[in-house]
Structure 1
């Protein structure tokens, strides 16, 4: 087959994932767009020889087979719909969108046009999580009854409170923007989707910080990131508007009866995710997640009752895979996308699952901001569900 002609919309913080698509003989980035001069300069540097535009509309004349939409979250929907209508396969960075209506519009457009749609939920390719899913499938803990996730976001102040992420208008909230990854993994490990959710949380540290002098125009997180600042209340240069929560707790009931919890804190000293999966014949838990290229470990307790035991009945070290970003997950994600563009077939994260992660994040945020009132998660349109062949 001839090389796939790839485009990139939004050449910013996440542009590194698109560089993985430059594979001579398989695919090549030939077109980019970014309204920011810095983004256009980076496009010329990262994708030498590619056409560089200031708007995605200009890319439509570049005869593309597929496009990466890597814009800020609130700007996903318009270019995704634009390229789906043009018959260009789309990779859109997670979250799919920042609202359920936009997600459903995207799914409906993909179903109507038949254009391939792929969402960048790279954690489904993370080695430690793939092994946990395999252990579940092997029945080592029996039938899953509950999944818990604790996300310690140690760099949260630098990552999310100094630019557009700090504003509800751009993200809905960090339970969606940051949590979509984890909520999708919870659904994946549990084998179902959230249907009823309640949440509590608040702006408990960064809201009291008066150092709101940031002007992030033309700047990126790498320009200000400084791991030496401690405690989190000492951060400077926060976004002038901060109206998202920095501490959130969520409980959810899934459509298969599994009960789940998700906890997210943006000012812990450590930065990693911990998943605990409890079945009717045991439980398992990860220690370390491998995202920073470090080793991870899965421990399984399933051979009888006891008191506290640090060691499991199974103790499985999980080394990172080669490929750089996110413990090799990004490289695997791009490989899957290019195969999907060229051949179609099954993919690890369906657009329906990506929509359900957003819907859970939206419902959890609504519950949190209403004092913990339970919120029902609206289901996907049955016609769209039939098209994607996913539940």
Structure 2
């Protein structure tokens, strides 16, 4: 195989990354797409490949012999169904995070990939962002010593626009936004520390979104759209204060990782700003990022060496491409995985473990903050 021929399942917002895969005459080309919306499919053709095969039945896409690999870009609750179907059809699979909305779902996908003998890659594009790669290299260099503690604060500005005007707002579709939005951060904590979470205790609640508005109400038809603080007429249109919303809009997690590393993760969806603030503390110093101003700060402590005389500031360079240049890189890695068996920065097991932490934390939240232990053993192996 010299060129990977891709099919896309899910022609919504995330399908914009397909343009990085469509390189006629290069190593990959997008030849088809499936979505329940004909309008989205038509728009996909206009933006990516006007000659692409399109269908509202993803089974028709998977049945095509001219497709080698499939990118699963559909809503979270459909990832398991679509990924397993694609693997059984003999296709390599790129699956957006989260891999599934349950740990059992992740295990079933991973087991299916092993049976099929096909590659499975999880879309953790934060591993491909230069800021987090730089942070990992600094920590791996040993300049702040042995890691002992991690703090992460995620301010999700526009949380309503992103998550509460559509399907994301119900536990049935997401389990929790700790899987949807938080899976990135939980994975980066695992990746940079090199350790997985063993147990978690968490608190969270639905303090701003949700309410008593009809589930069928949309912003354009609402009587108070001119004064509602969450009204939007040009994006997802379901009311952000509708009755069915049951997913926490703020969460606080405390985690114990392997080797006794302690970590905390805070997420809020009704803050006015958007940023991710990471702090890592080791035995020789502290590293902290500022993603608003594209800087990383390394502060060192007295140690009877040169470390006590200097701190370091890293100025991040701008990169081309969506998600800070990460999307072109992760798309390239998937193609090189399929063509050359070159292992990417992500792994299916890492995808499984971020979901495991999100599910455990959700269980803790909804049971009053109890400590929940996390197993690295798959549910399939436990049943053998």
TM-score, length of structure 1 as denominator length:
0.87
Measure, in 1, the Cα distance between the counterparts of 2:214 and 2:326: 36
> Any conservation in 1 of the 2:204–2:251 contact (CA below 8 Å)?
yes
**Unmatched 5+ residue regions in structure 1?**
220-228, 290-294, 306-311, 385-391
The verdict on how the C-alpha distance between 1:163 and 1:297 changes in structure 2, with shifts beyond 3 A counting, is same
Q: Does residue 35 of the first structure (1) align with residue 57 of the second (2)?
A: no
> 2:299 aligns to what?
301
The verdict on how the C-alpha distance between 1:382 and 1:162 changes in structure 2, with shifts beyond 3 A counting, is closer
> Any conservation in 2 of the 1:152–1:272 contact (CA below 8 Å)?
yes
Q: Does residue 162 of the first structure (1) align with residue 157 of the second (2)?
A: no
**Match runs of 1:50-69 below 5 Å:** 50-63=52-65, 64-69=67-72
Q: Does residue 314 of the first structure (1) align with residue 309 of the second (2)?
A: no
Measure, in 1, the Cα distance between the counterparts of 2:136 and 2:44: 37
Q: Over residues 272-309 of structure 1, what are the superposed CA-to-partner deviations in whole Å (9 max), with x where a residue is unaligned?
A: 101001111111000116xxxxx51000111429xxxx
How far 1:12 sits from its partner (Å)?
A: 0.3
The verdict on how the C-alpha distance between 1:346 and 1:2 changes in structure 2, with shifts beyond 3 A counting, is closer
**Unmatched 5+ residue regions in structure 2?**
221-225, 232-238, 304-309
How far 1:313 sits from its partner (Å)?
A: 0.6
Measure, in 1, the Cα distance between the counterparts of 2:325 and 2:365: 34
Q: Does residue 249 of the first structure (1) align with residue 252 of the second (2)?
A: yes
> 2:306 aligns to what?
none
> 2:97 aligns to what?
94
1:128 to 126, 131, 134: 131
Measure, in 1, the Cα distance between the counterparts of 2:119 and 2:252: 35
The verdict on how the C-alpha distance between 1:239 and 1:45 changes in structure 2, with shifts beyond 3 A counting, is farther
> 1:26 aligns to what?
27
> Any conservation in 1 of the 2:210–2:241 contact (CA below 8 Å)?
no
> Any conservation in 1 of the 2:210–2:240 contact (CA below 8 Å)?
no
Q: Does residue 331 of the first structure (1) align with residue 328 of the second (2)?
A: yes
> 2:50 aligns to what?
48
**Match runs of 1:180-195 below 5 Å:** 180-195=183-198
Measure, in 2, the Cα distance between the counterparts of 1:114 and 1:256: 34
Q: Over residues 233-285 of structure 1, what are the superposed CA-to-partner deviations in whole Å (9 max), with x where a residue is unaligned?
A: 72133263210011100011112321111000011111010100111111100
**Match runs of 1:1-391 below 5 Å:** 2-24=2-24, 25-46=26-47, 47-63=49-65, 64-208=67-211, 210=213, 214-215=217-218, 234-236=229-231, 237-238=239-240, 240=242, 241-288=244-291, 295-304=293-302, 313-322=311-320, 324-381=321-378
How far 1:86 sits from its partner (Å)?
A: 2.2
The verdict on how the C-alpha distance between 1:248 and 1:382 changes in structure 2, with shifts beyond 3 A counting, is closer
The verdict on how the C-alpha distance between 1:209 and 1:234 changes in structure 2, with shifts beyond 3 A counting, is farther
TM-score, length of structure 2 as denominator length:
0.89
How far 1:60 sits from its partner (Å)?
A: 2.4
Measure, in 2, the Cα distance between the counterparts of 1:239 and 1:6: 39
> Any conservation in 2 of the 1:162–1:214 contact (CA below 8 Å)?
no
The verdict on how the C-alpha distance between 1:209 and 1:331 changes in structure 2, with shifts beyond 3 A counting, is farther
How many residues align? The count is 361
